């Protein structure tokens, strides 16, 4: 087979690939991750590259204009290699993972403030990994218990554990270790399904070094926390894009990609590499030795969890939509290539069905929805929006495919909720001047989900856009025609930490409108399906990776959230991550999570006859039916 060399600039990385390989694939092969929201269908236009040298074959795409074609710009997903090539990947086509992670990860303090409301867990402190320092009685001629029995007996003096497991690796080192450490050792006990495993045996007293990690693996965003399991303290939190986005922006495109040769392996590597990088950074920043981390709890939707464990997700999208497993066994983290202590354990929050995963379970857990007296709802706004309705008596959930717009992906100037992200905006009603509030008060770099919600709400208020999302304002320095149609300049590049103006285009608004319509209509249909009215819902927990703030008023104004009494809304930040942390810190929470997952009934939106109408009706700001938003009439 004919092979060619492709060199990526400015990285100057070269990879040899077969003729007819797409540039997107070639990039992945050498660790260059190019944006691709549509999974290589040539429609999203996020994977533009500049051909510097060589011959390619390509297909026509509406996502490229004449100007761009003249500049040798191609779509990486539609363009195949026909000679040795040099291609340049512009910054805006790149998944920013390859830039310095410190820059991209959300600083802990930015996320923690909101999550604090969930951190005073109602659960007893009983972490999934505990350390126990033991001074064993030395053997004598009158006390010749074996080394292992001696250890087990000593452990059982502290804690009554009927079933304890130990691996051969530990036993092989036991004799020498006990004697070299003068019979003073620290054991790490890990909960493993319904048993307890002696995960580690270390010389001396290391009981004060007992760390764990919780992860929320989102389709678009990956968030992780390093936790001191002894003190329950969150040492650090980070978030980054899920590198898998290079293989498609939603779960369906990833499931399809997983069927390709090495597809599953690549998707698995993409997410675990990001996690390992995050683990390394978190540990290094907080002076924690990787070997002192012995437990990881991961939550995420069902597809993400399958990919994390390298389990084929194929059947999730084939009728009748059955995942391989909702409840996965606790495994050694190393089996999933997660690099903590080589003997450390990995537990996944149990899911409910193919489209309602462990992230819903952990959200229901951390929000406390499952024990509410009154009818309550949890709306987790993400690429896969999950909505759970219920109280202490019942739980029902559905999933809405909203796309990644509220996570700052698939929109022109979108970014995650990290430093420099515009998270709140005011647009003057007469002069259309824009006042900005960025995360960490730094120069604006882009717009995050809460920023877009605020911006659209303000543009509506000021009359910049109409309820269809079309830009009405004309003859103003902030309005112009851009490559994707009309756009409103939010920040001129002089005032931005960016190479171009920060804008919102009509295409972006359309994307955001669809996302909010998906969430709103799913919420509305789920409530109706259970024979309630939206007004019956007494508590609305709003979750999602919005950083420190989400302005509920704006979210109602654009029709993302239903128009209910404002005090019923509680913004709880990343509730999935908070639930995973609760499980890591408490066996009781782990047991509760399993009960929740078993209790939740899955409701499949697509089989509801009214869903499509409801969705179409929601494709306005705030809604076609203004009677649903009475408080906005004024």
326 interacts with a second copy by CB under 8 A: yes
Taking CB under 8 A as the rule, does residue 55 contact a second copy? no
By CB under 8 A, what part of segment 147-166 binds a second copy? 147-150, 162-163, 165-166
Rounded distance between C-alpha atoms, residue 80 and residue 74, angstroms: 10
**SS3 call for 141:** coil
Please tell me the distance from the alpha carbon of residue 105 to that of residue 268, in angstroms, as a whole number: 21
Residue 43 or 164 having the CB closest to a second copy:
164
Neighbours of 114 (CB within 10 A): 19
Q: Considering the complex, what minimum distance in angstroms separates the CB of residue 146 from a second copy?
A: 5
CB of 327 to a second copy, least distance (A): 7
- Closer residue to a second copy (CB): 311 or 422: 311
- Which range, of 134-142, 290-298, 527-535, 571-579, touches a second copy by CB under 8 A? 134-142
Burial degree of 471 (CB within 10 A; 0-12, 13-18, 19+) = buried
Q: Verify binding: residue 172, a second copy, rule CB under 8 A.
A: yes
Number of residues that bind a second copy (CB under 8 A): 51
Q: What is the DSSP secondary-structure string of 237-278? A: EEEEE-GGGGG-SSHHHHHHHHTSTTHHHHHHHHHHHHHHHH
**What does the alpha-carbon distance between residue 224 and residue 234 come to, in Å, rounded to a whole number?**
10
CB of 215 to a second copy, least distance (A): 17
Q: Does 601 bind a second copy (CB under 8 A)?
A: no
176 binds a second copy (CB under 8 A): yes
If one asks whether residue 307 binds a second copy (CB under 8 A), the answer comes out as no
Residue of 143, 261, 474, 494 that binds a second copy (CB under 8 A): 143
What residues between 545 and 584 interact with a second copy by CB under 8 A?
Answer: none
Q: Which stretch binds a second copy (CB under 8 A): 310-318, 395-403, 416-424, 451-459?
A: 310-318
**Residue 509 backbone class (left: φ over 0; alpha: ψ -120 to 50; beta: rest):** alpha
The nearest distance, CB 351 to a second copy, in angstroms, is 8
Q: Which of 66, 168, 499, 630 binds a second copy (CB under 8 A)?
A: 168
State which of residues 256, 325, 530, 594 lies at the interface with a second copy (CB under 8 A).
325
For position 328 contacting a second copy by CB under 8 A, the verdict is: yes
Q: Applying CB under 8 A, which of residues 2, 144, 287, 430 lies at the interface with a second copy?
A: 144
According to CB under 8 A, which one of 185, 311, 379, 552 is a site residue for a second copy?
311
Gap between the Cα atoms of 93 and 260, Å rounded: 23
**From the CB of 196, what's the least distance to a second copy, in Å?**
11
Nearer to a second copy, 353 or 362 (CB): 353
Spell out where 444-498 has E strands. Answer: 446-447, 479-482, 485-491
354 binds a second copy (CB under 8 A): yes
| φ and ψ of 447, to 5 deg | -125, 130
Of positions 146, 159, 442, 535, contacts a second copy by CB under 8 A? 146
Distance of closest approach, residue 61 Cβ to a second copy, in angstroms: 34
Token code pair at residue 181 = 């450490």
- For residue 584, the surrounding DSSP H or E stretch is helix 575-585
321-329, 519-527, 538-546, 618-626 -> range binding a second copy (CB under 8 A): 321-329
Tokens of residue 477, six digits: 């320095």
Q: How many residues does the chain have?
A: 634
Nearest to a second copy of 98, 166 (CB atom) = 166
Q: Which of 63, 76, 78, 174 binds a second copy (CB under 8 A)?
A: 174
Give whole-number Cα distances, 109 to 64, 180, 236, 583, in Å: 41, 43, 8, 22
Strands 184-192 and 211-217: unpaired
Q: Does 315 interact with a second copy (rule: CB under 8 A)?
A: yes
Give me 145's structure tokens.
Answer: 């218990």
**Residue 279: what are its φ and ψ, rounded to 5°?**
-60, -45
Dihedral of alpha carbons 89, 91, 96, 100, sign: positive
Candidate segments 89-97, 288-296, 378-386, 602-610, binder of a second copy by CB under 8 A: 602-610
Q: What is the DSSP letter of 634?
A: -
C-beta contacts of 436-444 below 8 A and 24+ residues apart: 436/490, 436/491, 439/110, 439/547, 439/548, 440/107, 440/110, 442/497, 443/495, 443/496, 443/497, 444/420, 444/490, 444/491, 444/495, 444/496, 444/497, 444/498, 444/502
Q: Interface with a second copy includes 167 (CB under 8 A)? A: yes
Nearer to a second copy, 437 or 602 (CB): 602
**Contacts of a second copy in 209-268 (CB under 8 A):** none
Q: Which is nearer to a second copy, 175 or 463 (CB)?
A: 175
**Binder of a second copy out of 90, 137, 204, 329 (CB under 8 A):** 329
* Stretch near a second copy under the rule CB under 8 A, chosen from 18-26, 77-85, 113-121, 145-153: 145-153
312 scored as a contact of a second copy (CB under 8 A): yes
Q: Which is nearer to a second copy, 109 or 149 (CB)?
A: 149
According to CB under 8 A, which one of 29, 86, 119, 145 is a site residue for a second copy?
145
CA dist 610 and 528 (Å) reads 10
- Helix ranges (H only) for 134-286 are 147-158, 168-180, 251-258, 263-285
148 vs 632, which CB is nearer to a second copy? 148
User: Considering only residues 67, 120, 261, 319, which one is a binding residue for a second copy as defined by CB under 8 A?
Assistant: 319
Residues 6+ apart with CB under 8 A from 319: none
Minimum CB separation from a second copy for residue 275, in Å?
Answer: 17
* By the rule CB under 8 A, 437 interacts with a second copy: no
Q: Binding to a second copy by residue 371, rule CB under 8 A? A: no
Q: In terms of CB distance, is 205 or 312 closer to a second copy?
A: 312
> Tokens standing for 301?
């939707």
Q: How far is the CB of 175 from a second copy (least distance, A)?
A: 4
Which residues are within 8 A (CB) of 414 and not within 5 positions of it... i.e. 6 or more apart?
405, 407, 408, 446, 447, 448, 449, 452, 508
User: Judged by CB under 8 A, does residue 336 bind a second copy?
Assistant: yes
DSSP character string of 527-538: HHHTT--GGG--
| Alpha helical stretches, state H, 337-462 | 358-367, 449-462
Interaction of residue 199 with a second copy, rule CB under 8 A: no
By the criterion CB under 8 A, which residues form the site for a second copy? 139-141, 143-150, 162-163, 165-168, 171-172, 174-176, 179, 193-195, 309-312, 314-315, 319-329, 331, 335-336, 353-354, 602, 604, 607
């Amino acid at each position: 087979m004919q092979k060619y060399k492709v060199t990526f600039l400015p990285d100057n990385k070269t990879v040899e690939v077969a003729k007819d390989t797409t540039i997107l694939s070639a990039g992945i092969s050498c660790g260059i991750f190019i944006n691709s929201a549509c999974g290589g269908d040539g429609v999203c236009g996020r994977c533009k590259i500049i051909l510097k040298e060589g011959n390619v074959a390509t297909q026509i795409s509406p996502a490229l204009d004449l100007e761009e074609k003249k500049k040798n710009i191609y779509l990486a997903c539609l363009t195949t290699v026909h000679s040795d090539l040099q291609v340049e990947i512009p910054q805006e086509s790149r998944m920013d993972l390859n830039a310095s992670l410190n820059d991209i990860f959300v600083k802990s303090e930015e996320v923690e403030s909101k999550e604090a409301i969930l951190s005073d867990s109602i659960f007893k402190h009983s972490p999934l990994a505990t350390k126990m320092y033991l001074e064993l009685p030395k053997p004598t001629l009158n006390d010749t218990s074996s080394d292992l029995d001696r250890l087990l007996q000593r452990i059982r003096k502290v804690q009554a554990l009927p079933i304890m497991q130990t691996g051969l690796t530990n036993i092989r080192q036991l004799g020498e270790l006990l004697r070299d450490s003068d019979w003073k050792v620290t054991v790490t006990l890990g909960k493993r399904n319904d048993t307890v495993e002696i995960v580690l045996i270390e010389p001396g007293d290391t009981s004060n070094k007992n760390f764990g990690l919780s992860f929320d693996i989102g389709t678009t965003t990956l968030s992780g926390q390093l936790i001191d399991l002894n003190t329950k303290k969150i040492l650090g939190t980070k978030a980054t894009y899920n590198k898998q986005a290079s293989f498609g922006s939603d779960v369906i495109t990833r499931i399809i990609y997983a069927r390709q040769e090495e597809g599953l392996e690549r998707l698995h590597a993409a997410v675990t590499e990001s996690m390992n990088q995050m683990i390394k950074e978190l540990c290094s920043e907080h002076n924690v030795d990787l070997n002192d981390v012995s437990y990881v709890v991961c939550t995420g939707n069902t597809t993400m969890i399958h990919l994390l464990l390298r389990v084929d997700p194929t059947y999730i999208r084939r009728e009748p939509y059955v995942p391989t497993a909702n409840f996965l066994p606790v495994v050694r983290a190393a089996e999933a290539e997660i690099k903590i202590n080589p003997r450390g354990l990995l537990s996944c929050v149990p899911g409910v069905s193919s489209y309602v995963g462990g992230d819903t379970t952990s959200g229901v857990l951390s929000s406390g929805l499952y024990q509410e007296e009154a009818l309550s709802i949890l709306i987790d706004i993400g690429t896969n929006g999950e909505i759970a309705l219920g109280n202490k008596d019942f739980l029902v959930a559905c999933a809405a495919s909203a796309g990644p717009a509220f996570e700052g992906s698939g929109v022109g100037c979108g970014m995650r909720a990290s430093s420099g992200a515009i998270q709140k905006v005011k647009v003057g009603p007469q002069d259309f001047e824009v006042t900005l509030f960025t995360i960490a008060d730094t120069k604006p770099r882009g717009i995050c989900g809460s920023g877009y919600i605020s911006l659209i709400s303000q543009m509506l208020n000021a009359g910049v856009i109409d309820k269809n999302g079309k830009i009405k304002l004309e003859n103003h320095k902030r309005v112009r025609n851009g490559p994707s149609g009309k756009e409103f300049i939010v920040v001129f590049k002089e005032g931005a930490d960016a190479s171009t103006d920060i804008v919102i285009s009509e295409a972006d608004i359309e994307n955001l409108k669809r996302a909010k319509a998906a969430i709103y209509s799913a919420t509305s249909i789920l409530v109706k399906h259970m024979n309630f009215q939206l007004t019956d819902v007494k508590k609305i927990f709003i979750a999602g990776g919005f950083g420190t703030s989400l302005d509920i008023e704006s979210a109602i104004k654009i029709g993302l959230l239903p128009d209910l009494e404002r005090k019923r809304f509680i913004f709880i930040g990343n509730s999935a991550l908070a639930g995973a942390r609760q499980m890591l810190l408490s066996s009781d929470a782990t047991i509760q999570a399993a009960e929740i997952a078993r209790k939740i009934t899955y409701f499949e939106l697509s089989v509801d006859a009214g869903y499509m109408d409801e969705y179409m009706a929601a494709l306005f700001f705030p809604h076609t039916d203004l009677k649903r938003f009475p408080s906005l009439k004024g």
